Amino acid sequence: MQKIAPCLWFDGNAEEAANFYLSVFPASRLAATLHHTDASPGREGDVLAITFELDGQEFMALNGGPQYHFTPAISLMVHCASQQEVDRYWSTFIDGGGKAVACGWLEDRYGVSWQIVPDGLLEMLRDPDREKANRVMVSMMNMIKLDIAELRKAYRGE
């Protein structure tokens, strides 16, 4: 068990969301399901929480009720090795009710915010040559889904 694991609050569809996320990420697994008992606030036998791992990262999906909703103030970042991987994650999260936001950010059908980020982007943005880093930032800020080739062209000054 990892020391710190995010708990995502859902309104009755935690199991559906967890199963969706498990289908998106290879090397993922369902770890445990916790059901309501006669002592908990939900209906006995209904799913209270699901613990699952996405590529080794532990999460909990909790059926907490309608009191709280996701905001982009917290997002989950997916590091991608290729444009093909960026495209695959992007379309998987958008299909079925997700929505594109900007600069590699999107919101999935459950309201969770994700950043689909190509490997190397953060290094380009951290480059001590501020002109290079600024060109990449300007390029990124004008994108919705990130395009690795265009980011690299901006970095090189093309």
CA terminus-to-terminus distance, the chain: 47
Q: Is pLDDT at 1 greater than 80 in this prediction?
A: no
Where do the domains of the chain lie?
A: 1-69, 70-158
Q: How many CA atoms lie less than 13 Å away from 42 in the CB half-sphere?
A: 17
pLDDT attached to residue 42: 85
- Quick one: which of 47, 84, 43, 42 has its CA closest to 62? 47
How far apart, in whole angstroms, are the C-alpha atoms of residue 67 and residue 51?
21
Domain 1-69 identical in fold to domain 70-158: yes
What are the tokens at 2?
């990892």
**Per-residue confidence band for 150, with pLDDT thresholds at 50, 70 and 90:** very high
Under 8 Å between Cβ of 52 and 28? yes
Q: How do residues 38-84 score in pLDDT, each as one tens digit?
A: 998 888 999 999 999 999 999 999 999 999 999 999 999 999 999 99
* Stretch 13-35: mean pLDDT: 96
pLDDT attached to residue 111: 97
Q: Is pLDDT at 140 greater than 80 in this prediction?
A: yes
pLDDT attached to residue 41: 85
Angle CA 18–95–147, to nearest 5 = 105
What's the fold here for domain 70-158? 2,3-Dihydroxybiphenyl 1,2-Dioxygenase; domain 1 (3.10.180)
Q: How do residues 97-107 score in pLDDT, each as one tens digit?
A: 999 999 999 99
What are the tokens at 78?
């997916």
Q: Which CATH superfamily is domain 1-69 in?
A: 2,3-Dihydroxybiphenyl 1,2-Dioxygenase, domain 1 (3.10.180.10)
Helix (H) or strand (E) holding 87: helix 83-94
How far apart, in whole angstroms, are the C-alpha atoms of residue 140 and residue 113?
18
The average confidence (pLDDT) of the chain is 96
